[in-house]
């Protein structure tokens, strides 16, 4: 690759997005949330009235994905997250988005200095030749609590905190099963990645570990 590429993979709500954005800002690299591409496909399918598991509809949505949808606030909705996990398991959807991601990494929109890609398979499939690979993990309970707090901050609907947390935990467990069990690009740590478990770490502690690792790769 002509640019320095950092991949940041991991399951939902592990903290990889926060870390990836912070690394991109620190180094002045271009940032790509690859999950937003799948969320965009999932949201498009839902708005068209189709089932996210409908391969034909999902592939068509991926092939016709417009950049404008990537800034839509609805991308963060739980229904969109569930749909994204479903469409991401469809080989045709992944194939439609793969070249776009690789092009971004090879020729980022910042004069080629570097790129940070945040996703599920950026270090294993999208950019296996990336110079620095991070895999950010956390227990499913810790991740569900983080997602619950995000929802709480956005004013939870009536139904009781315990019931809502239980639903978030169940959704996350089901999403993990889909992401880790799919035959195409399952979520897993690259063999040469730096793995950081964020369950009991602050964002600053995670960043410090990641930064030290990336710097070691830059100076190697």
Q: Is residue 16 part of a domain?
A: yes
Residues 40-55: what's their mean pLDDT?
97
Q: Is residue 218 part of a domain?
A: no
Q: Is residue 39 part of a domain?
A: yes
Q: Is residue 92 part of a domain?
A: yes
Q: Is residue 215 part of a domain?
A: no
Residue-range definition of the domain harbouring residue 43: 4-203
Q: What is the pLDDT of residue 39?
A: 94
Q: What is the pLDDT of residue 175?
A: 82
Q: Which of 8, 23, 13, 15 is nearest to 201 (CA)?
A: 15
Q: Is residue 211 part of a domain?
A: no
Q: Is residue 209 part of a domain?
A: no
Residues 148-154: what's their mean pLDDT?
78
For the beta carbon of residue 216, count every other beta carbon within 10 angstroms: 11
Residues 78-97: what's their mean pLDDT?
91
Helix (H, G, I), strand (E, B) or coil at 33: strand
Number of domains in the chain: 1
What pTM was estimated for this model as a whole? 0.81
Quick one: which H or E segment has residue 143?
Answer: helix 140-153
Give 156's pLDDT tier (boundaries 50, 70, 90). low
What mean pLDDT is reported for the chain? Answer: 89
What interhelical angle do 161-181 and 78-87 show, nearest 10? Answer: 20
Asked which of 100-104, 151-155, 170-174, 194-198 is least confident by mean pLDDT, the reply is 151-155
Q: Is residue 190 part of a domain?
A: yes
Q: What are the strands of the beta sheet with 194-197, ordered from one edge?
A: 30-33, 114-119, 4-9, 132-137, 194-197
CATH number for 60: 3.40.50.300
- The partner residues of 196 in beta bridges, in order of sequence, read 136
């Amino acid at each position: 690759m002509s640019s320095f590429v950092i991949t940041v993979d991991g399951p939902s709500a592990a903290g990889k997005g926060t870390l990836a954005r912070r690394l991109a800002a620190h180094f002045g690299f271009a940032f790509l949330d690859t999950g937003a591409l799948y969320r965009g496909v999932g949201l498009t399918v839902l708005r068209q009235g189709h089932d996210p598991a409908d391969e034909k509809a999902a592939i068509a949505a991926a092939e016709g994905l417009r950049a404008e949808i990537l800034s839509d606030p609805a991308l963060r909705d739980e229904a969109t997250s569930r749909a994204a996990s479903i469409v991401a398991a469809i080989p045709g959807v992944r194939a439609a988005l793969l070249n776009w991601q690789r092009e971004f990494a090879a020729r980022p929109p910042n004069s080629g200095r570097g790129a940070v890609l945040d996703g599920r398979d950026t270090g294993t499939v999208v950019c296996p030749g990336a110079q620095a690979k991070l895999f950010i993990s956390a227990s499913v309970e810790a991740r569900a609590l983080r997602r619950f707090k995000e929802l709480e901050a956005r004013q939870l609907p009536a139904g009781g905190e315990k019931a809502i947390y239980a639903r978030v935990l169940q959704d996350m467990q089901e999403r993990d099963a889909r992401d880790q069990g799919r035959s195409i690009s399952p979520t897993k740590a690259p063999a040469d990645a730096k793995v950081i478990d964020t369950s009991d770490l602050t964002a600053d502690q995670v960043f410090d570990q990641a930064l030290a690792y990336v710097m070691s790769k830059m100076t190697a």
